Structure formats: C-alpha cells, structure tokens
Amino acid sequence: MSLSGLVLTRAPALRSRTVSAQAGWLAMTASALLLAVLLSLAVGSRGLIPGELFDVVRGSGTAEARAIVLELRLSRTIAAVIAGAGLAVAGAVIQGHTRNPLADPGLLGVTSGAAVAVVLAIFLLGITDPAGYLWFCLLGALLGTVLVTAVGLAGAKRRDASPASLVLAGAAVNALLGAVTGVMLLLDSASLDVYRFWTVGSLAGGPDAQVLAVAGPLVLAGLVIAIAHAPALDSLALGDDAAKALGRNPLRTRLTGLAAVTLLVGGAVACAGSLGFVGLVAPHVVRRLTGPVHRWLLPQCALVGAVFVLLADVVGRLVVHPDELPVGVVLGIFGGPAFVLIVLRFRRSRRGR
C-alpha cells in the first residue's frame, strides 16, 4: 500500500526510545520479582542462608532445606505470584474499561460471586477445605461477572455496556451478593469461622497443589487475553467514537476485558482468598512508571502486583515471629501508609515540574 503522500524526511527513533525505556523498567521490576521470590523461599520460622537456598535451587542441598523450600514455601510463593499478578492486572483492566480510577477488581462481581459460592459451600455442604471449595469459588466468580454484565448491558442506553452502566450494575450486584453472604454468616457462626480466614486473604500453610494447578492456567489465560486486548483498550480510552473510527468494536472489547478480569480474579481468589488493596492500588503505582498505555501498563502490573503480595507475605512471616500475620492484613497495614506516601509525594513532584 502506498503511504498516501506521507513521506518521512527525517527519522528520529522515538518509538524505539520509548521501547527501550519501558523495557528497562520491565527488566528492573522483573529482577525485583526474582529477588522477592528468593526472599519468599528463604525467609520463615526456619530461615535459610543464601548458600542453602542456592543449593536447593541447583537440585542439591540438605534434606531439611529441600523439605522447607519445596514443601512449605514453594507453593505459597507460587500462590502469591499468581494472586498478585492476577489482581493487579485485573485492577488495571477494570480501571481502564470503566474509566474510573477507583474501580477495583471486585467491581464486576467476581469477588462477591466467589464469596457467596464459598460461603454456600461451607454453609450448606460443610466443606471447609480450600481444595474442596475451589470449584464453587470459580463458578461463583463466573456467575458474579455474568450477572453484572447482564445488568450492565440491560442498563446501558445503546446496549453497549457503557462504563457508567457497568459501574452501577457492579455496585448493585455486589451489594446484593454481599448481603446474601452477610446473612448466611450472621445465621451460622461456624461458616463465619471458616470464612473470616478466607476473606482476609492468607497464604499460610500454602495452598493445595491442585488449587495451583487450576488457578495458575486460569490466571495465565487471563493475562494473555488482557495483554492481547491492550491495544483495543488503548483505543477505547480515546472514547467510544474514536475507538469505532479506528475500526474497534467497543462492546466486543469490553466483553473481552470482562472475560480477562473473570479469569484473573477468579484464579487469584481461588489461590489466596479475597485479597483487597493490590488490585486497586498497584495500577496507580505502576501508571507512574509506565504512563497510561496499557500495552506497557499491564505486563508491568503483573510483575509489580506479584512483588507486592510476595513482600507482604514475607513481612507477615517476620513481624509477629513465630506467629504469622495474614498477607491481606500486611498489605493493608504496611501497604496503606506506603500508598498514602506515594499519593502525597506525587503531588509534590508534579507541582515542582
């Protein structure tokens, strides 16, 4: 095809400069992730020195060290990575689609749907083991999103699930599902006893290998879909008209985004319970590194979200040694103030510009 009269007379390699800057950031957070993974494998009630850890990684090492790393810490480390990456990417996707920076991954009903199903499983069937309610959790997550999407579609003026309509549908359906959960918990304190540990988000003991084997691929699929639809989401950020003018189908893009969020949050919640905070906050932190372009934002969110959850889990193992703080508690108590600092600092640096 001809260039329609567009002939470049001088060619600065601008785009490749952005690419290298972004790749630099990615490399940096990737190394941070590697470090966090090693920390998570090494730190705990019986700490490992680096030498011991490297021996295990190389396939040698003492039987005790191998048992600690492979049986106690590997699964919770994997779970932290899955949950952190899944929630952070889902948060960025949902904030992009609703054009609302206060949206969190639970907005579309995934988390509240999962919670209802889990509590139902505990309440009606007496299931108390996470591997047992895995499928309830995933089914609930799916039903939650389907419900929100259906209401959102029905509520939008042009049947295109506009952001405003999705946000309201999410608020309404979440409240309803939350109320169902709430009533069951009020009626049955045995359910509450199981649920309170699930809802705070905990990795203690390490999730079942079966859970990881299901949740891992789900989150991975969600990641692939999310990153594949990033350019479409970027067009949608210019408004529905501009997106249509560029040949995008806004509704199809939104439904793709919803599918990605369902997979990401469903998998994450199955691994670590309903972890708050990461999904809402990680995208805000990452946007400061990458800017608003989702092609870069989403992969970076995956790395940073995983680092957040890993570090929170490690801190949780250390602060009340030999007890443990659940990872959700650490994320709130340490992450909350840290996020406030970031918000305040950003203001200053912006003013200085």
Contact between 40 and 80 under an 8 Å Cβ cutoff? The reply is: yes
Does 244 help bind another protein (rule: CB under 8 A)?
yes
- Which range, of 25-33, 66-74, 77-85, 235-243, touches another protein by CB under 8 A? 235-243
Does 4 help bind another protein (rule: CB under 8 A)?
yes
Q: Report the site for another protein in 105-124 (rule: CB under 8 A).
A: 107
Does 275 help bind another protein (rule: CB under 8 A)?
no
Q: Which of 276, 279, 254 is nearest to 85 (CA)?
A: 279
| Helix spans in 4-101 (H) | 14-42, 50-58, 63-66, 74-98
Of 58 and 157, which CB lies nearer to another protein in the complex structure?
157
What is the rounded end-to-end Cα distance, in angstroms, of the chain?
43
Q: How many residues contact another protein, by CB under 8 A?
A: 95
Contact between 226 and 283 under an 8 Å Cβ cutoff? The reply is: no
User: Dihedral of the CA atoms 111, 219, 81, 98 (nearest 10)?
Assistant: -50
Of 217 and 337, which CB lies nearer to another protein in the complex structure?
337
Residue 299 to residue 311: CA distance in whole angstroms: 19
Query: What length is written for the chain?
Result: 353
3-state secondary structure of 222: helix
Q: Report the site for another protein in 79-108 (rule: CB under 8 A).
A: 100-103, 107
Does 126 help bind another protein (rule: CB under 8 A)?
no
Instruction: Count Cβ atoms within 10 A of the Cβ of residue 94 and give its class: 0-12 exposed, 13-18 middle, 19 or more buried.
Output: buried
Closest approach of another protein to the CB of residue 70, in Å? 28
Q: Report the site for another protein in 282-301 (rule: CB under 8 A).
A: 284, 291-293
Does 154 help bind another protein (rule: CB under 8 A)?
yes
Does 69 help bind another protein (rule: CB under 8 A)?
no
- Determine which residue in the list 1, 24, 31, 160 makes contact with another protein, applying CB under 8 A: 1
Q: Report the site for another protein in 5-64 (rule: CB under 8 A).
A: 5-12, 14-18
Closest approach of another protein to the CB of residue 282, in Å? 12
Q: Based on C-alpha coordinates, what's the Rg of the chain?
A: 22
Backbone angles phi, psi at 291, to 5 degrees: 85, -175
Of 41 and 148, which CB lies nearer to another protein in the complex structure?
148
Does 333 help bind another protein (rule: CB under 8 A)?
yes
Interface map 191-230 toward another protein (x if CB under 8 A): -xx--xx-xx---------------------------xx-
Closest approach of another protein to the CB of residue 245, in Å? 3
Q: Report the site for another protein in 311-330 (rule: CB under 8 A).
A: 325-326, 328-330
Closest approach of another protein to the CB of residue 220, in Å? 17
Closest approach of another protein to the CB of residue 88, in Å? 15
Residue 117 to residue 115: CA distance in whole angstroms: 5
Place of tokens 């203001």: 347
Q: Which residues contact 301 (CB under 8 A, 6 or more apart)?
A: 85, 88, 89, 91, 92, 282, 283, 286
Closest approach of another protein to the CB of residue 66, in Å? 31
Instruction: Concatenate the DSSP letters of all residues of 118-159 into one string.
Output: HHHHHHHH---SHHHHHHHHHHHHHHHHHHHHHHHHHHSTTS
Of 54 and 339, which CB lies nearer to another protein in the complex structure?
339
- Determine which residue in the list 237, 255, 289, 318 makes contact with another protein, applying CB under 8 A: 237
